[in-house]
Every structure is written in C-alpha cells, then in structure tokens.
Copies of this chain bind each other. A is one copy, B any other.
Amino acid sequence: MKIVEKDLHISSKSRNQMIDITGQVDAAVSQSGIVDGDAIVYCPHTTAAITINENADPSVPHDILLTLSEIIPHHRPGYRHGEGNSDAHCKSSLVGCSEQILIKDGQLNLGTWQGVFFCEFDGPRSRTFFVQVRGE
C-alpha cells in the first residue's frame, strides 16, 4: 500500500462559509499516482469542518449554513466558553472534521452532484487541511 499526504491551505472571507475544495482534493489524488483506494480529507481546526454536498447550485451551501445558524445560534444563555465561538465548536462536532472519498481509476469517485467543502464557522481566517491518499 502506498500512502501520500499533502497539506493544503485556504483563506475564508466571512464568519460562516462553505468553500469548495474539490479541485484541490482531486489534484492531490492525481499527483499521488494512486488508482484504487481512498482519500481522507481532514480539518485540524476545532471551529471548522469538512462536508460533502451539492456544489452545482450555490443556494445549497447557503441553505446549509442558514440551517446550522438557526439550530445553533451564535449566542445562547448558558454558554461558558469565553471566546464567544461556542457555536462554531458545536457546528464542527455536528458536521464532523473529516470525510473519506473512494478512489476509482485514479479519480475521486464522487456522486454526480457531490463536491467536497471546507466549512468555516469562525472566520475570516487562514486555514489548513490535510489530504491523505492511500491505496495502490
């Protein structure tokens, strides 16, 4: 088995934002030379997340971010964390900090409408994510 890892970088522009990183993950897979296996996309931050959803219509990320902010308001009576970003920590644990995508014939085996998103919940910030490609 071959294991290839790459650290990638993005900059978010607002407090809540879903950034399409499909192209960056795809390039990491192509560069790895691995044709059969999987890729882990991992976010090392505790106020951000990784998700897979539709990247054709920008209304979909909008509606996901709207829903998350309705469920998890920025300020809630009872929050104890002093940095004012408890909502971002909660969103991170609900959405999850990693995704795994299968690789077939040297390419990400995503569904027709699927893209990979870095979810910023406490921006704007400079952020890092890891892509580990494993297989043969």
**How many copies altogether?**
3
Partner of A67, one of B45, B72, B104: B72
Residues of chain B with a CB closer than 8 A to A102's CB: 5, 40, 42, 130, 132
User: Does residue A29 face the partner (Cβ distance < 8 Å to B)?
Assistant: no
Say how far A96's CB is from chain B's closest CB, in angstroms.
Answer: 6
The answer to whether A98 and B95 touch across the interface, beta carbons within 8 angstroms, is no
Contact with B along A42-76 (1 / 0, CB 8 A): 11111000011110010110111011101110001
Give the CA-CA distance A129 to B100 in the complex, in Å: 14
A: which residues have CB within 8 A of B?
A: 1, 3, 5, 36-38, 40, 42-46, 51-54, 57, 59-60, 62-64, 66-68, 70-72, 76, 78-82, 86-87, 89-90, 92-102, 104, 109-114, 130, 132, 134-136
Shortest 8 CB-CB distances between A and B: which pairs?
A44-B111, A59-B80, A63-B86, A59-B81, A46-B54, A1-B1, A67-B90, A51-B93
